[in-house]
Amino acid sequence: MLTTHPFDDDHLREECGVFGVSGSDGSAAALVALGLHALQHRGQEAAGITSWDGRQFHTHRAMGHVAGNFDRDDVIRALPGQAACGHVRYSTTGDTTLRNVQPLYAELASGGFAVAHNGNLSNAQRLRRELVRRGAIFQSTSDTEVIIHLVATSSYRTLLDRFIDALKQVEGAYSLVVMTPEGMIACRDPLGIRPLVMGRLDDAVIIASETVALDVVGAEFERSIEPGELVIIRGGEVKSIRPFAPQAARPCIFEWVYFSRPDSISGDHSVYDVRKAIGAQLAIESPVEADLVIPVPDSGVPAAIGYAQQSGIPFELGIIRSHYVGRTFIQPGDKVRHLGVKLKHNANRALIKGKRVILIDDSIVRGTTSLKIVQMMHEAGAAEVHMRIASPPTRHSCFYGVDTPERAKLLAAKLDVGGMTDFIHANSLAFVSIDGLYKALGESGRPDFRPGHCDACFTGDYPTTLTDQDESAEVDQFALLAERVA
């Protein structure tokens, strides 16, 4: 049968990626398909593209990767127009079914309305219940559809005002690309939790989750969409408005640690350079005598380079990754399940035998992957196995578009570092401190410093209210009390 590969099952899941083109001379959909290829790491369950040809909208959505679904001429020809938007998805809310694949599309009184969303609305369930009571009929289980219904039922006159009215009712994280007959809208939530950038390709305006997608289509990076900013695009013309009260930005810090591609640029910093700086900071904070620094591929590579350069310990590829095994693999039976691990990662035995090794990874979630990799090193003959993690312990769930396991399943929420070390059978384990993480970003780590990012997965300091989560907790507490009374 098919199952999630053991190494993929123990990572924080990528959220989603969005890409939009307005004012293209040729087929906007072809550019969107290329952009989505570059953003495939942000969502690998499904992909979709919606185009506008000046008269009507055209949509193609499919399960699976961009390749195989949008690299066919007949698919792109069926998506004509000078404007298009697309989405790659990993489900953080809603089922993994075609009805939840974005862009979501609806016919409103003002005409067609397509939306691609990266993020998660933390009050979507409450809003959904209210909308259903008022007669709304939902076609998906995605939180994104709430936005469409709020726009449709708004009492404001213009589509832009109705859209702003809808956004003022939601909480949480959103970077959106919206297509209407009047033009394209790109926006970020007031805290800027999820990334969004804008570029130019000749006369066309390009919107993307990351700068790497601009690179792939040959567009020039212009700027980031600011937190709380709405950019209205008609053809190649751009107008910016800021309808929300200004707030201190809190972009997701885990974009630096893992989510963004290392060849992307965020603000004035290279993601690759920041990850190397995190590794260097980790070496300063948690040195250990060893013979080799080994990355857990591929996400641990830049931090491992930084650790090796700072410590003077040689960097080596002690784990070889197969790039031909996807998120799912064929599992013949439980007796050979452990062999499936080696389909994706295998120890470089000749290098490791008799050596004291330092493994560098981006995070520990459930701990099962770390356990398997440490075991792999021991079986390959390593004299000592030390693990260093390029992020602080992940002790809290994310409610802003990252599919984090419930808190009870997070290893760092259950055990201290000593207990985690024993669990993964390492000789030692250390994480970069939250202070060190901010230092690597070039920001202060002083106790009186208000963090410039959302670091809730490490600290529990959530920057917004969590309506759905709070209500769910209240229901659980009530059920527990009722059970005790009974």
Sheet order of strands, 356-361 included: 292-295, 356-361, 384-389, 428-431
* Angle formed at CA 49 by CA 182 and CA 240, multiple of 5 degrees: 40
Whole-angstrom Cα distance, residue 380 to residue 293? 15
3-state percent helix, strand, coil for the chain, nearest multiple of 5: 35, 25, 40
> From CA 486, how far away is CA 484, in angstroms rounded?
5
Question: Which regions of 134-286 does DSSP assign to beta strands (E)?
Answer: 172-180, 183-188, 197-201, 204-208, 220-224, 230-234, 237-241, 265-266, 269-270
429, burial (CB in 10 Å: exposed 0-12, middle 13-18, buried 19+) = buried
Return the closest-CA partner of residue 389 out of 438, 436, 432.
432
CA gap 248, 322 in Å, rounded = 42
Query: Which listed residue (16, 187, 398, 454) is catalytic?
Result: 16
- CB of 92 within 8 A of CB of 120? yes
Cα–Cα dist 453/212, whole Å: 21
The answer to whether 16 is a known catalytic residue is yes
Catalytic residues: 16
